[in-house]
């Protein structure tokens, strides 16, 4: 029995080269999955999956890693992905679930759920950075996949735009934190607001900096968020009020599960925030 020739993907082949190579090998529907908000200490974790059509219809002008795009470009490309994709799905994991289950577990589960929700069943899956187990189709984890594979880049735009819209809504509900500007990532302004106001219920209490200003700095970072007398009472004071601090402010590291903190990025530049490079 002859072994089929290896598929070679050139580094200079462009954003669509990997998908085209897989499609030539018989995998017509290639899905990409990515997330947004992993490094934030407030707001949800959002994962998305997308299957782009073969050929020219699947080529979206300006498509790139969402962290390299301006907000206006992301919105335009988001609309293009929604209009052109054979299938797409977005999953939102709230902050309290991130605290309860852990960041990495939620990240994998969210991408798995997004892929399972696709109306068009993928024949191959590409993910950004690390593999997702539990899938019944072959897959490949691609380093910086949102800069290498078009379907992963499309998923990154879907996740990023969805999460940014959520954070803008949360900025109106919880004024004073600047969620509409920094989108829940650690910046000097966010750190100052945390120290002044204490965390609100949209913060992730399993992160070191949030645990510190909430008076839980003597406990492990994975400590669960405080339980109240009711869904909107106890330490939170009300559904839209910050949590009352019970200890001295301090700490600026917005990390969980051993992830390393990164310097804040200016508004509109999410590369550093999401773990990329300038």
Radius of gyration of the chain from Cα atoms?
20
Sign of CA dihedral 105, 107, 110, 116: negative
- Asked if residue 21 has pLDDT above 60, the reply is yes
For the ranges 27-31, 96-100, 236-240, which has the lowest average pLDDT? 236-240
Would you list which residues are annotated within the binding site for a divalent metal cation? 34-35, 128
Q: Give per-residue pLDDT as tens, 207-217.
A: 999 998 887 65
Give the chain's domains with CATH numbers.
14-214 (3.30.420.10)
User: What does pLDDT average to over the chain?
Assistant: 80
Tell me what percent of the residues of the chain surpass a pLDDT of 70. Answer: 73
How much is the average pLDDT of 255-276?
34
**Neighbour count for residue 187 (Cβ, 10 Å):** 21
In this prediction, residue 131 has a pLDDT band, given cuts at 50, 70 and 90, of: confident
Query: What is the dihedral angle through the alpha carbons of 175, 181, 183, 185, rounded to the nearest 10 degrees?
Result: -100
The crossing angle, in degrees rounded to 10, of helices 71-84 and 150-173 is 120
Measure the CA–CA gap between 141 and 161, rounded to whole angstroms.
23
- Asked if residue 266 has pLDDT above 50, the reply is no
Tell me the HSE value of 91 on the side-chain side, using a 13 A CA sphere.
22
**Order of strands across the sheet that contains 30-36:** 87-93, 45-51, 30-36, 124-128, 139-142
**pTM of the prediction?**
0.78
Would you list which residues are annotated within the binding site? 34-35, 128
Confidence (pLDDT) at 225: 58
Decide if 42 contacts 203 (C-beta within 8 A): yes
């Amino acid at each position: 029995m002859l072994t089929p020739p290896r598929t070679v993907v050139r580094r200079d082949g462009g954003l669509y080269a990997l998908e085209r190579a897989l499609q030539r090998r018989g995998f017509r529907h290639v899905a990409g999955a990515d997330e947004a908000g992993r490094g934030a200490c407030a707001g949800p974790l959002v994962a998305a999956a997308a299957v782009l059509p073969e050929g020219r219809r699947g080529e979206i002008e300006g498509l790139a890693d969402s962290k390299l795009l301006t907000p206006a470009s992301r919105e335009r490309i988001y609309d293009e992905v929604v209009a052109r994709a054979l299938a797409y799905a977005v999953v939102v994991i709230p902050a309290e679930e991130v605290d309860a289950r852990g960041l990495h577990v939620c990240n994998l589960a969210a991408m798995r759920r997004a892929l399972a929700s696709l109306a068009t069943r993928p024949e191959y899956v590409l993910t950004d950075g690390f593999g997702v187990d539990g899938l019944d189709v072959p897959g490949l984890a691609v380093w910086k996949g949102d800069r290498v594979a078009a379907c992963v880049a499309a998923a990154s735009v879907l996740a990023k735009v969805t999460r940014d819209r959520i954070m803008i809504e949360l900025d109106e509900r919880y004024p004073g934190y600047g969620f509409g500007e920094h989108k829940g990532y650690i910046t000097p302004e966010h750190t100052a607001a945390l120290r002044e106001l204490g965390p609100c219920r949209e913060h992730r209490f399993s992160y070191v900096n949030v645990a510190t200003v909430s008076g839980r700095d003597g406990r492990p970072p994975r400590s669960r968020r405080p339980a109240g007398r009711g869904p909107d009472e106890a330490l939170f004071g009300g559904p839209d009020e910050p949590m009352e601090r019970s200890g001295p402010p301090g700490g600026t590291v917005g990390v969980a599960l051993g992830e390393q903190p990164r310097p804040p990025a200016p508004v509109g530049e999410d590369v550093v925030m999401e773990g990329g490079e300038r």
